[in-house]
Amino acid sequence: MREAIIRVAADGSPGSRRALEWALDEAALRGCAVELVGVYSLSEYGTGKSAAEAAVHATMDDIIAGRADIPLVSWHVVAGDPEDVLTRESAHSELLVMGSHDVFGMRHSAQRSLTDICSRTAACAVVIVPPPPPSETEAEALQIGAQK
């Protein structure tokens, strides 16, 4: 029997950090491991791989530090298109957890998002964690912008 793993798409964004927080809580409930997956372009092997590794480490370091009860956590980075890599990774996962990037409107509708694609093509259930709420200064800026 294979070990149950929750995989988390990690790109260093606030959304992927929230996804890891959610995945750690869920893994504690299920008694399974968590694995972060970073993706980089094959054409950017040197710099892209380093950036993907840095994003995964930044996501892990901030979230795991200070948590008391942490399940087994591992990580790796893979070259390729994010849609293909995450879909392939989902074949061996209990869940694929992704953070939502706060993008809406016409532009978003015209472009298929990674979360949209993975939610349709993954071989396991996909959890899309909403973006963090805006800070007070961001909320004030949004209100001021809306009043113009």
pLDDT bucket at 146, cuts 50 / 70 / 90:
low
- Domain housing 60: 5-147
Q: Would you tell me how many other CB atoms lie within 10 Å of the CB of residue 141?
A: 12
pLDDT tens track for 104-124: 444 444 346 889 999 999 999
CATH code of the domain in which 102 resides: 3.40.50.620
Q: What is the DSSP string of 25-89?
A: HHHHHHT-EEEEEEEE-GGGHHHHHHHHHHHHHHHHHHHHTT-SS---EEEEEEES-HHHHHHHH
Q: Torsion-angle region of residue 66: left (phi > 0), alpha (psi -120 to 50) or beta?
A: left
User: What does pTM read for this prediction?
Assistant: 0.81
State how many domains the chain has: 1
Q: Which range among 35-44, 46-55, 114-123, 136-145 has the greatest average pLDDT?
A: 114-123
pLDDT at 107: 42
Q: Would you tell me how many other CB atoms lie within 10 Å of the CB of residue 93?
A: 22
What SS3 class is residue 98? strand
pLDDT tens track for 81-100: 999 999 999 999 999 999 98
**For residue 130, which phi and psi values (nearest 5 degrees)?**
-65, 160
Q: Torsion-angle region of residue 139: left (phi > 0), alpha (psi -120 to 50) or beta?
A: alpha
